[in-house]
Structure 1
Amino acid sequence: MYLDIPRKFSPIIHQARQVAREVFRPISRKYDRAEHSYPRELDMFATIMDGMNAGSGEATAGAGKLAQSGPNGGTGNRNGTNMNTVLGLTELCWGDVGLALSIPRQGLGNAAIAAVANDEQLARFGDTWAAMAITEPGAGSDSAAIRTTATIDGDHYVINGEKIYVTAGDRANAVVVWASLDPSQGRAAIKSFVVEKGTPGMTVERLEKKLGIRASDTATLRFDNCRIPRENLLGNPDIEAEKGFAGAMQTFDNTRPVVAAMAVGVGRAALERTRELLAGTGLDLDYRLQGWTQNAAVRELQRLEAELDAAWLLTLRAAWMADNGQPNSREASMAKAKAGRVGNDITLRCVELCSHLGFAESELLEKWARDSKILDIFEGTQQIQLLIIARRLLGKSSRELK
């Protein structure tokens, strides 16, 4: 792994930072206050991104498939869609996390489609804005406890159940729904299905009022005898007990580094602004001084910067492994666990370090502190990530280590 960012990614990093500074930051507070209002300013940006993606063959806020071969397979060192996604989204979330989650056609459901869809499905749903529906009232962090069902009926599947906390669930053009083909067969029967907006039987029950990321809509969806074509099942339709839950969970190996990158972006924003505010008070922020001779606030700032760097390197590693065909389940969880916790710790500590400025709406620091909390929760909570890491390190199954 090379620690220098490849030069080919310089344009996407530069463009994403420009969007974050000139589009996201100016309207950040507006849509924080106007929860559930759709950010129309993003429509033009989404069109620009479509053009960029078409030209590069890569996505910016989705995630690509795990590459099928890596350095040992004769392709050399590769930095592709997953690295591109991580780098671009880090910059966008330096601007605003909620707005980054609201970009049309760049939803978490798009990452799921990119990860497991076949060529026909990629062609059919490639331009569709897709949300992802996993969590249920009785199934939060334990995705294997899903009770939504998909029953085969001729050329269709009939979906019944309820999903909560669906990011972009109201705005998206489709939802990737996780459901069980046969609850009696446990995890192996859980598959993902694309349900397009307007399909009879799918309804938006309500929109949630939230602590943070208020620019992004979060919906509760109900499926009541919702019929979809058999071709809308993503991946293999067979229930393979020997593979268990691995097929469905592969999506997370791609999306968890993406969420880690989001946490790094908002954490970096808070640190940079805090550094500016502390420098304005006359504190010496130079790294040449020993920690024990520095002001306590400066020493704490530098500790937080070191923590963010550690999270960033873990995130890059997980994305690089995905691009090079290396199984990255453990590393994806390590990146998500570290970055999710660190991003939230940094934003809260920066609020404290900046005193009254950290709590006032005159600065975005208090908003970043609220926004960052979700990044330690969705795509698998901190506790679930640590459990997954422990299983991988010890070679234990989910049945053996709960």
Structure 2
Amino acid sequence: MNIEIPKKFKPLINNAYQVAQSTLRPLSRKYDRGEHEYPKELDMLASVLDGFNEGDPANSAGAATTGSGKVQDDGSVKNGSNMGVCLGAMEMCYGDTGFLLAMPRQGLGNAAIAAVANDEQLERFKGKWAAMAITEPSCGSDSAAIRTTAKKDGDHYVLNGEKIYVTSGQRADCVVVWASLDPKLGRAAIKSFVVDWGTPGMELARLEKKLGIRASDTAAINFIDCRVPAENLLGSPEIDTKKGFAGVMETFDNTRPLVAAMAIGCAKASLERIKELLKDHMQYDFSKPVDNCSAIEAEIYKMEAEWEAAYWLAVKAAWMADNKKANTLEASISKAKAGRVGNAITLRCVELAGSLGYTEDELLEKWARDSKILDIFEGTQQIQQLVIARRVLGLSSKELK
């Protein structure tokens, strides 16, 4: 693996860093306190990002470009949109994680559409802001246990069910909803549908009050006899019991490295800030063995090492997606590592800063709160370990639960 970021991504990284420092970071506390208040400043940033992607789609930075496609290995090497999205997300979350999640037209539903939709759907849904609705009240980590149903009725599907913790669920133009065509057939019958806001039978139940990422709205949505056009079903309408749940789960192969990148960016902010706060009390000497350093110095070195491991795991998983390589294992490894490391680093930095880290005088306590969700959504730590174990051992979901 060549551990040098391609030069073509340097402007993207620099621009995202400048936005994080000059725009997102100064607004963080305002929208953390004003939960559910829409950050109007993001409209301009979203427009700039749209223009960048239109002008240079091969090196784009938006979630709508993280397409998967069929796995192939033609011997060529590509550094494309999946890596670009992850590198941009790292820098944006260095500024504020909630703002990235609240960015118009950059929802996880956009990544799902990019991964699964056909050419006609990609064109039809182009420019829309899509949220993603998977979790249900009695179904959290086990996505295959969803109870929302989709019954075929002529040229429509009728959706019934309840979804919770839908990121950008109220603000988005549409929601990608996971529903079962036939609950008796289990995982294989689960499909995803694009449901536009304003569709009769789609109701906003409430907005959640959360521990972190408060700049992003998180909604609960009810679907009561909600009629969705049949052409809004993403992918094939056929139920393939042999392929099972794999078709729908392909979305996660793209989004899990993205969430890993978000955790890495948030952790980077905490690490840099704690080093600034402690700069007058310690000197960094990377030539010394870690056992010969002060306890706090050694701890920061170890956190930096863990951070870098998580960083390269995320970059590798994104690179594999760009090169059409099967990356389910690597995507879960990157998400598991970054989620755990990001949360551990942000919490430890709060502790190392003492009373200053626990107050709103610093953003350290906010980053610690924000980081927790990055170890939970897109699959908890335990779910990632289960996916990894199945892949390493060559066992199916029935054989290893």
> TM-score band (shorter)?
over 0.9
The offset of 1:67, in angstroms, is 4.5
Partner of 1:239: 239
Measured in 1, the distance between the counterparts of 2:369 and 2:120 equals 40
Counterpart Cα distance in 2 of 1:285 and 1:110:
43
Superposed displacement of residue 298, structure 1: 0.9
Decide whether the 8 Å contact of 1:67 with 1:323 is kept in 2: no
Structure 1 segment 370-381 matched on structure 2, within 5 A: 370-381=369-380
CA displacement 1:271-303 (0-9 Å, x = unmatched)? 0111111103x3112212222222211110110
Partner of 1:170, secondary structure, is coil
- SS of corresponding position for 1:285: coil
In 2, the alpha carbon distance for the partners of 1:12 and 1:284 equals 32
8 Å Cα contact 1:67-1:324 kept in structure 2: no
**Alignment-derived partner of residue 89 in structure 1:** 89
Q: Secondary structure at the match of 1:239?
A: coil
- Is 1:250 equivalent to 2:267 in the alignment? no
* Residue matched to 1:60: 61
Cα-to-partner distance string for 1:234-259 (whole Å, 9 max, x where unaligned): 00110010100000000000000000
* Regions of 4+ moved over 6 Å: none
- Structure 1 CA distance, aligned partners of 2:322 and 2:69? 5
Task: Please list, as runs of the form range in 1=range in 2, the aligned pairs for 1:130-149 lying within 5 A after superposition.
Answer: 130-149=130-149
Point out where structure 2 has 5 or more consecutive residues left out of the alignment: none
Aligned residues: CA RMSD = 1.0
State the secondary structure of the residue aligned to 1:212: coil
Give ranges in structure 1 of 5+ residues lacking alignment. Answer: none
| Distance in 2 between residues matched to 1:348 and 1:327, nearest whole Å | 34
- Alignment partner of 1:221: what SS? strand
Q: Is 2:201–2:225's contact at 8 Å kept on the other side of the alignment?
A: yes
Query: Do 2:133 and 2:178's aligned partners in 1 also have CA atoms closer than 8 Å?
Result: yes
The two structures have a TM-score, normalised by structure 1, of: 0.98
Partner of 1:320: 319
Corresponding residue number in structure 2 for 1:167:
167
* Deviation digits for residues 310-336 of structure 1 (CA, Å, limit 9, x no counterpart): 101110110011111110001000000
Amino acid at match of 1:254: N
AA at the equivalent of 2:326:
P
1:188 is aligned to 188
Decide whether the 8 Å contact of 2:350 with 2:365 is kept in 1.
yes
Aligned pairs (5 A) from 1:346-357: 346-357=345-356
**8 A contact 1:61–1:107 mirrored in 2:** no
CA contact (8 A) 1:203 1:221 kept: yes
Report the CA distance between 1:337 and its aligned residue: 0.2
Counterpart Cα distance in 1 of 2:258 and 2:271: 20
In the other structure, the counterpart of 1:363 is 362
The alpha carbon displacement at 1:51 in A equals 0.1
Counterpart contact for 1:66–1:254, Cα < 8 Å: yes
Aligned to 1:113: 113
Q: Which structure 2 residues correspond to residues 273-284 of structure 1 after superposition, within 5 A? A: 273-280=273-280, 282-284=281-283
Helix, strand or coil for the counterpart of 2:278? helix
Partner in structure 1 of residue 269 of structure 2: 269
Alignment-mate amino acid for residue 321 of structure 1: M
Number of residues paired by the alignment?
Answer: 399
Counterpart of 1:73 in structure 2 is 74
SS at match of 1:228: strand
Contact 1:130/1:174 (<8 A) preserved: yes
**Residue identity in the other structure for 1:365:** L
Q: Distance in 1 between matches of 2:292 and 2:182?
A: 64
SS in 2 for 1:73: coil
How far apart are 1:69 and its partner, in Å?
A: 5.8
Cα offset for 1:139?
1.1
SS in 2 for 1:327: coil
Q: 3-state SS of the aligned residue for 1:270?
A: helix
Equivalent pair of 2:68/2:114 in contact (CA under 8 Å): no
Which AA in structure 1 matches 2:343? N
